[in-house]
Chain A
Amino acid sequence: MKHVLFVCVMMSALTQLKAQSDNCNLRFSGRAVDMDHKEPLSYATLYINETQTAVVADENGKFMFEGLCPDTFTLVISHIGCTTSTFTIALTEDTFKEFRLDHTSENLESIVVHGEQDKNTGTLTETTLSGKKLDRLSGKSLGEALKDVNGVSSLQTGNGISKPVIHGLHSNRILIMNNGVRQEGQQWGNEHGPEIDPFIANSLTVIKGAASVQYGSDALGGVILVQPAPMPTQKGVSGDLHAVGFSNTRGGAASLMLQYKASDSAALSYRLQGSIKREGNVKTPNYFLANSALAEQSGAATIDYHRNNLHSQVYYSYFHNKVGIFSGSHIGNLTDLQTAFASDTPLVHQDFTYIIGRPYQDIVHHLIKNETNFHHERLGTFTLITAWQNDLRSEYDAHTSLIDSIAALGLPSLYFEIGTITADLKWEQHPGKRHNAVIGISGMNQQNITRYSIFIPNFKNYSGGIYAIENYKFGRVLLEGGIRYDYKWMQIFRYEGNTLETPTHQYGNLSGIAGMQFFDGRHTQYNLNFSSAWRSPSVSELYSDGLHHGSASLEYGNDSLVSERAYQIIAGIEHQSDKWYFDVGVYNNFIYNFIYLEPTLPAELTIRGAFPVFHYMQTNANLSGADVQTSYMIIPQLKAEIKASTLRARDVANNKWLVMMPADKISFDLEYQPADFKWMHDNAIHAGVEYVFEQKRAPLDEDYVPPPSAYTLFSAGIEGVIALHANEISWSLSADNLLNTAYRNYMNRFRYFADDMGRNITLRIKIPITGKSNL
């Protein structure tokens, strides 16, 4: 970790300014570390009694206070598992200081994951997975990894496709920011997973709440930030190697990252990262899932220039995956679907194989971006992000063409290509003692092409937004307010018969945020936030026309749909003391004109029999729920943790439940940390149990089969770090679904046809690369 510095450290490096004449402009920064191992105390809370200001350290224990007057201060540092300590600081100039705390229990920082202050948003709840917590999830897809965050679940299409769901919302209702750029693919589809490899990230952050003001329209449910590590600050070659093996799919993943800087003071630094993943057929407790293998390759390259107050970076990432679609889920008509439901086991059998047959998806995503920061002494920091991304999705049907000459071409049955250009300019005021303002504008141009069959039409769109956010601190209270306006113009190109039609749509709306945060100075922080966001209807909702093979239904768009608008209130309390940690969040999200698929009678007759018909309609929806997470140190080496989340999602206009909403769940985990043993340290043993309730709050008329029963899953694992010469090799061995329980998950679209994955034992190894040579 020593070569990796966190974003705000970089920001502090950016802000290395000459001391200004104004007396009360001193900067006091430092690092909080563990007394024994000098391990960073991630997210330690630091509080200055005299000014009643508090900050939270970053992942590496680094923190910074700004706008201090020359004086003597009392600094209180608290961290879970540590004795809260008080230090006296005499400040006369900008100062950096390291503080050592007696850490009564080792490596706890890896477990403590919670909302931080002063990070990405002011007063919204956010959860970050990074460091050891993220390492424990390596090799998983983005959607699977994020399930670790309380309140986040995933909408799955088997093992290979997983979409994150925040407080019941997904797809077009959440935003994914891939290294600062809004991810644009075909996110409208339930079986279209995010085209991002989590190996590129060193932190994954989930912002729960309508954070549209800062990140753009559509963030009705929340925002996911995928952030790569900051560039190296020390000379030489460094990096890391991850290797992961899965027993269930007899698969594995590996990622290699190498970075280089010619000297500590060099302006340029470089990074290359690449990863591969290969998995065979998934094994449920009683059978293999036919054609469920997958293959993935991705990589990223970064060139970074940083001198004085100018910082510019070019980043390129590539993502490619090929995912087999479980043969048993491929159905031609309603009779096939009913035959599949009636059978306890899938009608298509296949033993283990790595071969990916038809049907399958083949997806490529390119992103190239530049981010340039310019720091001006008086005017503040300017950031310009420009990006181009191209997403190519090919879907291959179970059929090859009956006509040999067409079959020989090997073309997909459906192909989408969407290209997106985005530009974002942001101005941030210097963080002052009280005020902190951000103003930004952003623009986007997008063009979609569909080939071989028409499910959604071609379109192009232009959109733009302008926003301002102000944070105001007085004493222990932080107030936040922000407003944004977005406009979108879209033109559709489609054939009605043989006539080309080119209708246009325009949408323009405001988003807003208002929140407050109160920190009691020691242990507890209170948040209250109101936000409003909107989303224009997606092209699939406006113009879908025809047969949806995956669900044996006819889906019809509705070109008169209007924008959805969400009003959300979210309140949270987070408490951290010597032994206790708890984080409670409650929310209510009211969405006007919520777009959904309404089943419509009668069924429509086709050459494949009668198909159920669905039309896109609008209603008013209300989603309310709570996420609770609490942990307690029973003895210094033993920690118990409970996580629970609940959601009630109503169609209030029609007075019924909303379909496909995650069921309530609760989990209990115990973690024991034995003492170091010779060259093995940071050892831990953990065991957990998760209970997922039956989703009894589902509309029975909108689904073919009722939601599956409740289930209990057990997990266990051991992990540690091996000190081999100068290298610290992290390892872990964990088992999911330890008892090989046969279960079906309501949020998995294959639940109609087959059980979920059986026992899976995962071995993970991470080897840091620290080249001392100067090349």
Chain B
Amino acid sequence: MKKITYLFILLPFLISINSCKNEETPDPVNEEELITSVVLSFENNADLSTSTFAFRDIDGPGGDAPSEFDTIRLNNGYYHLTVSILNESVSPALDLTAEIDEESTDHQLFYTVDGADITFDYNDTDANGLPIGLDMNVAVGPSSSTGTVTVVLKHQPGIKDGSISTGESDVEVTFVTETN
């Protein structure tokens, strides 16, 4: 009967040998989910010239400081704004804008202005008639001003209600903004 005992003792080892694949060397992790960049393209309605301002933090939160963080500088006039949300930590870069548009009933971009003479109006709506914010009409006033524009992308799965306090923030970038 003692053979049973030997078997008993060996059992955990037999199982562990089987499970002891040498897996400790990891593959570099591609963080597909990461959002690294927000690019704002303002097209001047008068002359169709485009001004682009971006925030880029290629290695994601932590690590290196943001590689690009522009000041928004616009002259008096009317603009058409399109937004790109990118993951540039992977190669080739992933453009997440279309994905957000596809899930537009769960997402909304908000533009909060503080001190700058600039106003944002939604130019797009989701299937439920709520704004999305990837496509905006922008008006810049005649006065010289300096302030900020905070761009917030909210993830509001099943709870989208047009309010900035609902859901989880995927993006929150405060751009210094100068107008004249």
CA distance A403 to B92 in the complex (A): 14
Within 8 A of B (CB), among A288-314: 303, 305, 307, 310, 312-314
- Give Cα A307 to B172, complex, Å: 69
Q: Apart from A332-B169, A368-B15, what 15 extra A-B contacts exist at CB < 8 Å?
A: A314-B8, A336-B169, A369-B12, A388-B13, A402-B103, A403-B96, A404-B102, A447-B24, A491-B24, A493-B25, A495-B26, A547-B60, A606-B57, A606-B60, A607-B36
Most buried by A among B13, B29, B33: B33
Q: Would you call the interface of chain A mostly helix, strand, loop, or mixed?
A: strand
A453 with B12: in contact, given A398-B155, A402-B100, A460-B24 (CB under 8 Å)?
no
Chain B hits for A397, CB < 8 A: 33
* Known contacts A335-B172, A554-B62, A556-B62; A607 and B57 CB within 8 A of each other: yes
* Docked complex: B45-69 residues within 8 A CB-CB of A: 55, 57, 60-63, 65-66, 69
Tell me if A326 is interfacial: C-beta within 8 Å of chain B.
no
A390 beta carbon closer than 8 Å to chain B: yes
Residue B94 CB within 8 A of the other chain: yes
- Answer whether A421 and B16 are a contact pair too, CB < 8 Å, given A313-B8, A453-B31, A607-B171: yes
Would B35 and A607 count as touching, CB distance under 8 A? yes
A606–B23 CB distance below 8 A: no
- Contact B62–A606 (Cβ < 8 Å): yes
Proximity bits, A337-348, B CB within 8 Å = 1, else 0: 001000000011
Q: Say if the beta carbon of A769 comes within 8 Å of chain B.
A: no
- Minimal Cβ-Cβ distance residue in A for B29: A454
Residue picked from B12, B13, B96, B173, most chain A C-beta under 10 Å: B12
What chain A residues lie within 8 Å of B35 (beta carbons)?
607
User: Does B166 count as interface, using CB distance less than 8 angstroms?
Assistant: yes
Query: CB distance A608 to B24 under 8 Å?
Result: no
Contact of B12 among A330, A421, A451 (CB under 8 A): A421
- In the complex, the answer to whether B5 meets A421 with C-beta atoms within 8 Å is no
Interface CB pairs A-B, < 8 A, 15 = A305-B1, A335-B172, A336-B169, A368-B11, A398-B168, A399-B155, A399-B157, A403-B94, A406-B32, A421-B16, A451-B29, A604-B61, A605-B65, A606-B62, A607-B36
Residues of A within 8 Å of B94, CB to CB, are 403
Partner of A312, one of B4, B26, B96, B100: B4
With a cutoff of 8 Å between Cβ atoms, the chain A residues found around residue B159 in the complex are 348
Contact A310 B32 (CB under 8 A): no
Contact A545 B62 (CB under 8 A): yes
In the bound complex, how far is the Cα of B65 from the Cα of A606, in angstroms? 8
The answer to whether A402 and B169 have CB atoms under 8 Å apart is no
Q: Which residues of B contact A611 (CB under 8 A)?
A: 61
Question: 8 Å CB contacts to B: which residues of A513-555?
Answer: 545-547, 554
Q: Is A452 an interface residue (CB 8 A)?
A: yes
B26–A449 contact, CB under 8 A?
yes
A388 to B57, CA, bound (A): 43
Please state if B12 and A388 are interface contacts (CB–CB under 8 Å).
Answer: yes
* CB-defined contacts of B173 to chain A, threshold 8 Å: 607, 609
Do A347 and B165 form a contact, CB below 8 Å, given A388-B19, A399-B33, A545-B62? Answer: yes
Task: Tell whether, in the assembled complex, residue A332 and residue B170 are in contact, meaning their CB atoms are under 8 Å apart.
Answer: yes
Q: Which residues of B contact A69 (CB under 8 A)?
A: none
Complex: A636 Cα to B2 Cα, angstroms: 54
Q: Is A384 an interface residue (CB 8 A)?
A: yes
Query: By CB atoms of chain A within 10 A, which of B5, B31, B35 has the most?
Result: B5
Number of interface residues of A (CB under 8 A): 67
Instruction: Pick the 4 closest A-B CB pairs, nearest first.
Output: A332-B169, A606-B61, A609-B172, A332-B168
- Residue of B at shortest CB range from A499? B28
Interface residue? A387 (CB, 8 A): yes
Tell me the A329-368 residues at the B interface (CB within 8 Å): 330-333, 335-336, 339, 347-348, 368
Cβ of B127 < 8 Å from any Cβ of A?
A: no
B174 interface residue per 8 A CB criterion: yes
Given known A452-B29, A500-B25, A607-B55, contact A370–B9 (CB-CB < 8 A): yes
A632: Cβ under 8 A from any B Cβ: no
The answer on a CB contact under 8 Å between A314 and B172 is no
Query: B169: shortest Cβ distance to chain A, in Å?
Result: 4
CB pair B24–A459 under 8 Å, yes or no, is: yes
CB distance from B96 to the nearest CB of A (A): 5
Q: CB distance B26 to A457 under 8 Å? A: yes
Tell whether, in the assembled complex, residue A384 and residue B9 are in contact, meaning their CB atoms are under 8 Å apart.
yes
Q: Is the CB of B168 within 8 A of A331?
A: yes
A605 to B171, CA, bound (A): 12
**How far is A607 from B13 in the complex, measured between Cα atoms in Å?**
48
With A and B bound together, what is the CA distance between A493 and B162 in angstroms?
45
The chain A residue with its CB closest to the CB of B99 is A402
The answer to whether the Cβ of A463 comes within 8 Å of any Cβ in the partner chain is no
Using A332-B168, A453-B31 as known contacts, say yes or no to A609 and B174 having CB atoms under 8 A apart: yes
With contact pairs A310-B2, A403-B32, A607-B57 given, residues A388 and B9 touching in the complex (Cβ less than 8 Å): no
Which chain A positions have C-beta within 8 A of B63? 545-546
- Decide yes or no whether A372 CB sits under 8 A from chain B: yes
Is the CB–CB distance between A609 and B169 below 8 Å?
yes
Q: Which A residues lie within 8 Å of B24 (CB)?
A: 447-449, 458-460, 491, 493
Interface flag for A88 (CB, 8 Å):
no
Q: Is B38 an interface residue (CB 8 A)?
A: yes
Bound-state Cα–Cα, A495 to B165, Å: 37
CB neighbours of B38 from chain A (8 A): 607
Closest to A397 in B: B33
Which residues does chain B contribute within 8 Å of A310, judged by CB atoms? 2, 5
Q: Is the CB of B32 within 8 A of A333?
A: no
Q: How far is the CB of A427 from chain B (nearest CB, A)?
A: 16
| Chain A residue with the shortest CB-CB distance to B171 | A607
Q: How far is the CA of A545 from the CA of B31 in the complex (A)?
A: 14
Q: Flag if A368 contacts B12 (CB, 8 Å).
A: yes
> In the complex the two chains form, what is the Cα distance from A498 to B90 in whole Å?
12
Instruction: Give CA–CA (A748, B103) in the complex, Å.
Output: 34
| Contact residues in A for B61 (Cβ distance below 8 Å) | 546-547, 554, 604, 606-608, 611
